[in-house]
Amino acid sequence: MEDDDLHNAKEQFATLCSNGRIREAFHSFVSYIWSEPRLFSNLIQACIPTKFVSLGKQLHSLIITSACSSNKFVSSHLLNLYSKFGELRAAVLLFDRMPSRNIMSCNIMIKAHLKMGSFESAKNLFDEMLEKNVAAWNAMTTGLAKFEMNEEYLFLFSRMNELGFMPDEYSLGSVLRGCAHFIALFAGQQIHAYVMKSGFEFNLVVNNNC
């Protein structure tokens, strides 16, 4: 396939996926997908807003057939699909069978465990991560807030800041709520000063918790 044709095919494929026309996208570009299995990720992502659980599972079967299940990028998108659908058991099985994991897959599982109320599982995974990014720290901070573990996430927020990770508006909002619940006026004032310094003072999510 020539470069221009390949570019046009990618655009058409991506457009069909973004419009939720998943079956049409697969059947129209099946040979193209088999030659570049990473494109299964587009189909997987398209299943999430349309809530096509069964179609997502069919794609998973095809991915196994294509010998693409060892691809960390594709596996992470599958993991995200199962976690978004609340299929925690399927997500755990997939995660356990992944030959190699990356930060993205670990972050997805942390959020999945927290979403299902499994705080200990999320914390154990977070503690086991040799490398963490800001998304992992924000997920745990927000998760601790959800479980009203106020003292713990104030400590975690402080540790996150010490290590140079920038909290997002959701973790800032969570920690401010925690200060209110914990009646931690001084900590709340410090975080409010951080909010002002970091340019979050006009953020709607943060302001609703100040």
191 and 172 Cβ atoms separated by less than 8 Å = yes
Which range is least confidently modeled, 30-34, 36-40, 171-175? 171-175
Instruction: Rounding to the nearest 10 degrees, give the CA dihedral for residues 71, 74, 77, 82.
Output: -80
Range among 3-7, 127-131, 140-144, 154-158 rated most confident:
127-131
Higher pLDDT, 179 or 56: 56
- Read off the pLDDT of each residue in 2-14 and give the average, rounded to a whole number: 78
Q: Which pLDDT does position 184 carry in this prediction?
A: 54
Q: Which pLDDT does position 95 carry in this prediction?
A: 92
CA-to-CA separations, 164 to 126, 134, 157, in angstroms, rounded:
17, 9, 11
What pLDDT band is residue 28 in, cutting at 50, 70 and 90? very high
Phi-psi category of 148—alpha, beta or left, where left has phi over 0 and alpha has psi -120 to 50?
left
- Read off the pLDDT of each residue in 136-142 and give the average, rounded to a whole number: 86
**Spatial CA neighbour of 86 closest among 111, 104, 59:** 111
pTM exceeding 0.85:
no
- Read off the pLDDT of each residue in 34-61 and give the average, rounded to a whole number: 88
**Cα 4 off chain centre by:** 33
